[in-house]
Amino acid sequence: MYHRRARKARPAAAPKGDAKEKKPRNPRNIKLPGGVWLFSRSRMYHRRALYKVNHAPVKQEKRKRKRTKIVKKIRGEKNGGTRVVRLKKERRSYPTEDKPRLMKKSGVKRMVELELSGSRRRGVLILLRINLDS
The beta strand positions in the chain, using DSSP E, are 31-32, 36-37, 69-73, 82-86
**Through-space distance between the first and last CA atoms of the chain, rounded to whole angstroms:** 71
pLDDT tens for each residue of the chain, 134 residues long: 566 666 666 666 665 666 678 888 889 999 999 889 999 999 999 999 988 888 888 888 888 889 999 999 999 888 889 999 999 998 888 888 888 888 877 776 666 555 556 666 666 766 555 666 65
**Alpha-carbon gap, residue 2 to 30, rounded angstroms:** 10
Instruction: Return the DSSP state at 7.
Output: P
